[in-house]
Amino acid sequence: MFDRKNSSPCKRQDLICTPAALWLWCLPIGLVIFATSVWHGYQLPATMTGIIVTIATAWMGVACYVNGRRCGRTHCKIDGILLPLLSLVGVLNLLGATTFVWNAYADALWIILLISFVPECFGLIQPLWRGREER
């Protein structure tokens, strides 16, 4: 009935269309929401909250980088650069090189995720790198 071969190479390579999306993005987002919520309830130490949100951010950043390379989605390319940088800031905060509350970190994460979709919605950004199908 529907021939999968007719779907675009980008669509076939996009990891969001696979069950892997659950553990690549949904699980880390859930961890961030869980950690910050429990921390707000004074049931999770700030250091443990920082470890969880930093690892989850790096996890999503690597997944976005890989997916951006595979399918060329603009927001994945943006998040694939900014989320690993944000996780580096999180590591610096855990080590005491910077001092900010994890609320600010989580807010920065949500702002990056939101803003990264804007250029894609309006088609304003050209690819930052070439995907496999363009080589």
Domain that holds residue 38: 13-134
* Residue among 67, 54, 71, 75 at smallest CA distance from 123: 75
CA dist., res. 19 & res. 99, Å (int): 37
d(CA 25, CA 41): 24
- Pairwise CA distance, residues 127 & 50, whole Å: 32
Which pLDDT value is given to residue 19? Answer: 65
What is the pLDDT at residue 42?
82
6 in any annotated domain:
no
CA neighbor of 100 nearest in space, from 54, 67, 41, 43? 54
- In terms of pLDDT, which residue wins out, 82 or 117? 82
- Look at residue 44 and tell me if it is in a domain: yes
Percent of the chain whose pLDDT exceeds 70: 73
Q: What is the pLDDT of residue 3?
A: 42
Q: Supply the pLDDT for residue 23.
A: 64
Find the DSSP H helices in 14-126: 20-21, 27-40, 46-71, 74-95, 102-122
**Residue 4 counted as domain residue:** no
- pLDDT at 18 exceeding the cut of 90: no
Q: Tell the residue number behind the tokens 């900010």, with chain if given.
A: 100
For the cut 80, the answer to whether the pLDDT of residue 21 exceeds it is: no
Token pair, residue 104, equals: 């600010």
Residue 17 lies in a domain: yes
The answer to whether residues 80 and 61 touch, using CB atoms and an 8 Å cutoff, is yes
Element housing 9 (H / E): helix 9-13
Number of domains the chain is built from = 1
Q: What is the pLDDT of residue 124?
A: 62
pLDDT tens readout for residues 43-92: 889 999 999 999 999 999 999 898 888 887 888 889 999 999 999 999 99
Res. 129: pLDDT tops 50? no
pLDDT in tens, 96-106: 999 989 989 99
Residue 26 falls within a domain, yes or no?
A: yes
